[in-house]
Amino acid sequence: MKHITLILLFLFPLLTFGQKDTVIYFGPNGKLAPVTSKVLKKEIRKKNNKKVRIRTWKLDEGNEVLLFTENIKIKNSGVHDIRIKGRQFTERITRVFEVQPDGLFRFTERLNEQMKRKGTTRSKIPLLFQGEVTEYYSNGKVKSVSVYENNEMVSNENWLESGEKYIDDVFHSVDREPRFLRGTDLLHEHVLKAYRDSEIDLTQVEGRIVVGFVVMEDGSIDGLRIEQGLGRELNNLAVSSMNSLPGKWQPARINGKNVRFYQLFPINFIYQQFDFDFLELKGSMLYWHIN
């Protein structure tokens, strides 16, 4: 806690008194961190008193990968217009701030007049969450309500887009990610067998299925769902194969404690010619090759 406090005391004067270029490093679960243990890096460039650019990078296998860029136009002290551009998306939001008696800022974000997120932050640029933050689906229903301490998520409640309750206290960034204890070879064969035993003509399939699930504290999995699909039959095979996977996972950990982790499992169907004969897993990416 002392280390985090010192970073914050050093960081805020830089942002407040107009430093043109600032770099902030984050470790797992949003914790402010030194460069040696960074997971994310935010480069903040103040172009002038009205324009700021934030570029967010992620460390991936030793390389820094640009996730997205935020171009912020400061209309006044309480309103920011922000254009966010990632590799696969672009959106424009309006962020409104209100100063709170305790010195924090209450913020709301709207996308096309629809509420996207609201909560409290220690800083306007960049946001450093403190207290409760609520996120919304595009249909207006609540997606999650999370509690933060010094930008680290402490707990959350979650709902599906339908409004149905989902699993709570699920983390997306951890010190140690889950691992299937019986090895990736067994995982390969198990998922591959489900598709081989089906009567689906895989030579006609191209695209991607992304399965999401929670690896629980005890290594079991729960909350299987399709994040991105290719039709009911293919989707159901992906879910059923993961649901019937024999064995448990090594759970994720934060600060030496087992926690729930939301795992994404993408399956890419790549058509080349006609004979389905090979499957390969790279990280969490499952590739089907048709030669």
| pLDDT tens series, the chain, 291 aa | 334 333 343 343 334 334 568 999 999 999 999 999 899 999 999 999 999 999 999 988 889 999 999 999 999 989 999 999 998 889 999 999 999 999 999 999 999 989 999 999 999 999 999 999 999 999 999 999 999 999 999 999 999 999 999 999 999 999 999 999 999 888 878 888 888 888 777 777 788 889 999 999 999 999 999 999 888 888 999 999 999 999 899 999 999 999 999 999 888 877 654 444 444 544 444 444 444
Provide the 10 A C-beta neighbour count for residue 170.
24
Residue 107, φ and ψ in degrees, nearest 5: -130, 150
Q: What CA–CA distances, in Å, run from 193 to 28, 160, 203, 230?
A: 35, 30, 16, 18
Q: What is the DSSP letter of 176?
A: B
Strand ranges inside the chain, DSSP E = 21-26, 40-46, 51-60, 63-76, 79-86, 90-99, 105-111, 114-121, 129-136, 142-149, 152-158, 170-171, 179-180, 207-215, 221-228, 249-250, 252-254, 257-271, 276-282, 285-290
Residue at token pair 């759970």 = 251
Sign of the Cα torsion 7, 9, 10, 16 reads: positive
Closest Cα to residue 210, out of 190, 180, 235, 189?
235
At residue 286, the pLDDT reads: 44
At residue 133, the pLDDT reads: 98
At residue 18, the pLDDT reads: 45
Rounded CA gap, 87 and 216, in Å?
Answer: 31
Query: 93 by DSSP, 3-state: which?
Result: strand
At residue 146, the pLDDT reads: 98
